[in-house]
Amino acid sequence: MAAVLKKRALAEYSQVIQEQPVKPFKKLRLVKKKWSDTSAASVLIGLLEKQRSSNEAFQLLLRISDTPHLAEEDVAVAVKKLVEYYQQQTESFVKIKILSIFGDIGSEQGADIQNIIDDTLMLLKRETSHHVRAQGLATLLRLCKLMPDNIATHHKLILLAKQYLNDTSHLVKQKALDVLGELLPVGQQTEASLQTTVRLISDYAQSQDARVRSTAFNTLIVLHGRGLKLQASLYDETCEALK
């Protein structure tokens, strides 16, 4: 019996115990997050104040307009910085580009379109450049079309367009006529008020400038397409203007 126990103990002692191999820990690779396009746009806008000339600023603005989208949380700050930079500028081509970018920003998620419109209207109050005024109207029209039910804001732009019809520049007149064609509330004004505005537009169909005449004709066509019934007398006047 003792011999059996001794033999068993010896066998257990000499037995090789194989442990399960320990799996190595999985290494985590930390990758530094790169700037996204949206972040890049915010960074570029922040660099405007460091530009030493209007030409450098314009080149940077071109890069901003080519950079798609702003981060939603950066939109309000970006608009504020652009407004402040606009107010510091004297060169029309820089102002025009900033106003154009306002139209792009208005399409961004989280953009306060009404605020951008109000800022643009404020900037145009003291503006004397014909080209800047024209771009301002184009930007405002683009933004207002993003708010189709905001009648009060549309009315503000219609009043501004009528005011700008007195501008000496054909370009400003054309943009003002475009605004009237797109935003005039067809069916929501009294007949007398509506016909007064239509008469105002048709007067510019007699303009000595062919570009203004062409835009006035197109404005009447746009209004007709939106449901406005034009008086038959306008047909004869249009034919006469084409002679």
Domain boundary among 86, 119, 147: 147
Q: Are residues 139 and 44 in the same domain?
A: yes
Does residue 232 belong to any structural domain of this protein? yes
Supply the pTM of this predicted model: 0.79
What confidence score (pLDDT) does residue 8 get? 57
Task: Tell me the C-alpha distance between 221 and 225, whole Å.
Answer: 6
Q: Are residues 97 and 190 in the same domain?
A: no
Structurally, how many domains does the chain consist of? 2
User: What's the average model confidence in pLDDT over 17-43?
Assistant: 52
Does residue 6 belong to any structural domain of this protein? no
Answer for the pair 101, 64: CB distance below 8 angstroms, yes or no: yes
Does residue 28 belong to any structural domain of this protein? no
Does 102 score more than 60 pLDDT? yes
Does residue 52 belong to any structural domain of this protein? yes
Q: Are residues 110 and 180 in the same domain?
A: no
For residue range 148-174, list pLDDT tens digits in order. 999 999 999 999 999 999 999 999 999
Residue 205 structural domain: 167-242
- Residue 37 binned pLDDT confidence (cut-offs 50, 70, 90): very low
Does residue 16 belong to any structural domain of this protein? no
Does residue 182 belong to any structural domain of this protein? yes
More confident residue, 231 or 142: 142
Does residue 122 belong to any structural domain of this protein? yes
Helix axes 75-88, 37-46, angle to 10 degrees: 30
Task: Tell me the C-alpha distance between 232 and 30, whole Å.
Answer: 74
Does 115 score more than 70 pLDDT? yes
Q: Are residues 142 and 188 in the same domain?
A: no
User: What's the average model confidence in pLDDT over 111-125?
Assistant: 96
Range among 16-25, 66-75, 96-105 with highest mean pLDDT value: 96-105
Nearest in space to 154 (alpha carbons), one of 163, 162, 164, 145: 145
